[in-house]
Amino acid sequence: MRNYMLLILCLLFSQVGCTQTGKQKTKNQEDSIYQYKNPSKDGTGKVYEGREISYVMDASGASWLERNTRNQEENTTLAISKLPINNKSVVADIGAGSGYYTFKIAQKVNEGKVYAVEIQDDFVKLLKKNQEEKGIENVQIVKGTEQNPNLPANSIDLAIMVDVYHELAYPQEMLSALAKALKPDGKILLLEYRAEDPDIAIKELHKMSVKQVNREMETNGFKLFKREEFLPIQHFLIYKKVR
């Protein structure tokens, strides 16, 4: 009865007012998950689980992603060799950027598939260009959103985020969507610069501690499955859904 009366009032007085009420509800729901403050130098001012979310690197940083010294600095070859995948695995590279990891992983899953998920149009265009130049066919480029990677349900063996998680504008919503996209035994791998090491020359909001990552992942129904520290400057953290 209350909903019916609200509908009548909306029709009689103002459709605009009804729309604003709906927007306010959405805002209030978001405020229950996220908090806001004055942005720090490299941050958005949006806070999740006590951590300020950093700004997102745009396509102007593509040359940095593809720099010649990246393997030497991060040992990306070793990281890829340690991925829990086989040649038939289906992998999602979330925040694929230029595809630095995407196309290397695609060669390891020659009977499988890699979804290269990006939300930025410029990166999507660059991914398509790089795919055409490399002639790699088992990569599917997907335009995601800030809240959803737009992946098929129950389709992914491994979702990876390489120095990406700390930039997610909606980490809770994204993890919820990924949980649906993962197969029952699917995993999430996070590579994040180590916040515990002050000598790592990366901006503070672009680094994460294991304690903080665990806190956020556990909040969203994931448990640490394996932690490795074989990389020079990054954590290698694998999570599984809690059944």
What is the pLDDT, as a whole number, of residue 31?
74
Domain count, the chain: 2
Least confident range from 20-24, 75-79, 128-132: namely: 20-24
pLDDT at 225 exceeding the cut of 80: yes
pLDDT at 26 exceeding the cut of 60: no
Are residues 173 and 152 both part of a single domain? yes
Are residues 90 and 9 both part of a single domain? no
- 72 in a domain, yes or no? yes
Are residues 42 and 82 both part of a single domain? no
DSSP code at position 97: T
Are residues 67 and 117 both part of a single domain? yes
What is the pLDDT, as a whole number, of residue 27?
52
Are residues 35 and 66 both part of a single domain? no
pLDDT at 117 exceeding the cut of 50: yes
The neighbouring-strand residues paired with 182 are: 156
- 37 in a domain, yes or no? yes
Are residues 34 and 68 both part of a single domain? no
CA dist., res. 29 & res. 147, Å (int): 14
In this prediction, residues 62-86 reach a mean pLDDT of 97
pTM of the model: 0.87
CA-based nearest residue to 230, from 83, 85, 102, 75: 75
What is the pLDDT, as a whole number, of residue 29?
53
Are residues 41 and 125 both part of a single domain? no
CA dist., res. 134 & res. 18, Å (int): 51
Are residues 16 and 136 both part of a single domain? no
Are residues 106 and 182 both part of a single domain? yes
- Strand segments, DSSP code E, in the chain are 35-36, 43-48, 51-54, 90-94, 113-118, 139-143, 156-162, 182-194, 207-208, 222-228, 234-241
Q: Which domain holds residue 84?
A: 59-241
Are residues 142 and 222 both part of a single domain? yes
- 230 in a domain, yes or no? yes
- 20 in a domain, yes or no? yes
